[in-house]
Chains A and B, each alone.
Chain A
Amino acid sequence: AQTVTQSQPEMSVQEAETVTLSCTYDTSESNYYLFWYKQPPSRQMILVIRQEAYKQQNATENRFSVNFQKAAKSFSLKISDSQLGDTAMYFCAFMKHEISYGGATNKLIFGTGTLLAVQP
């Protein structure tokens, strides 16, 4: 079974600085996808960034980028120029490619989350 581990329950960073959130996963699959989701306080969960395992190039989305190390099964999230609005719970998630009735199944397996506080 696949597992996702986030070893940092809480982190803090000063505004405008850079912070890296760690995530490791365990799988025997070769074809899968990885995601970082953000859950701001009392607000809905939204997708931050995604990475396909077959792509060697690390994904980037504006101030957010990942360091994907497939052999090490590591998928860290880097937030540059941190802003107060980045304060949130961040979840790393794994999705396995599966074909079932009706097409592909895209179940997500989540880590336990990292609570990031951006300090002014």
Chain B
Amino acid sequence: DVKVTQSSRYLVKRTGEKVFLECVQDMDHENMFWYRQDPGLGLRLIYFSYDVKMKEKGDIPEGYSVSREKKERFSLILESASTNQTSMYLCASSLGGSVLDEQYFGPGTRLTVT
């Protein structure tokens, strides 16, 4: 079974802090994704990566950056956390190289910025 893990289920940070959210997948997937999930808005893509050190902006990249130094790990970085970044963050991965491959999701990190 594909396993996607995220470093924390719940996280509380202060405004202005630098925040790292980590995601690890164990199935040698090429593609990895970061979404944020907000009530009434569904899931919105922040960034994705299709290879090590390769990344592309999603629909809402402002205030975020990412890092992918190893294939299995994809980090989301909030350079200076703000209260409007309080949300549920979901990581996902997919095999890549094939159009019709599903995305496998992690359990999510609920981030609260105070």
Residues on A facing B (Cβ under 8 Å): 4, 6, 9, 33, 35, 37, 43-47, 50, 52, 91, 95, 97, 100-108, 110-113
Q: Which of B54, B99, B102, B103 contacts A104 (CB 8 A)?
A: B99
Smallest distance from the beta carbon of B81 to chain A beta carbons, Å?
24
Listed by A's residue number, 25 A-B pairs whose Cβ atoms lie within 8 Å are A37-B105, A44-B4, A44-B105, A44-B108, A45-B90, A46-B105, A47-B103, A50-B100, A95-B99, A97-B99, A100-B50, A101-B51, A102-B50, A102-B96, A103-B50, A104-B99, A106-B94, A106-B96, A106-B101, A107-B58, A108-B45, A108-B103, A112-B40, A112-B42, A113-B42
Contact status A112-B102, CB under 8 Å: no
* 9 nearest CB pairs, A to B: A45-B105, A104-B99, A110-B42, A112-B42, A110-B43, A103-B97, A47-B102, A102-B50, A44-B107
Q: Which of B42, B50, B99, B100 contacts A91 (CB 8 A)?
A: B42
CA distance A91 to B108 in the complex (A): 16
Please, what's the 1-or-0 string for B35-48, where 1 marks a CB less than 8 Å from any CB in chain A?
10000111111001
- Knowing that A46-B105, A95-B99 touch, tell me 7 more A-B residue pairs with CB under 8 angstroms: A44-B105, A45-B92, A50-B100, A97-B99, A102-B30, A106-B100, A112-B40
B98 interface contact, C-beta 8 A? yes
CA distance A112 to B43 in the complex (A): 7
Within 8 A of A (CB), among B51-99: 51, 54, 58, 90, 92, 94, 96-99
Chain B residues within an 8 Å CB radius of A97: 99
Smallest distance from the beta carbon of B82 to chain A beta carbons, Å?
23
Chain B residues within an 8 Å CB radius of A44: 4, 105-108
Chain B residues within an 8 Å CB radius of A107: 33, 45, 48, 58
Chain B residues within an 8 Å CB radius of A112: 40-42
Smallest distance from the beta carbon of B48 to chain A beta carbons, Å?
7
Contact status B102-A50, CB under 8 Å: yes
Chain A residues within an 8 Å CB radius of B109: none
Chain B residues within an 8 Å CB radius of A9: 40
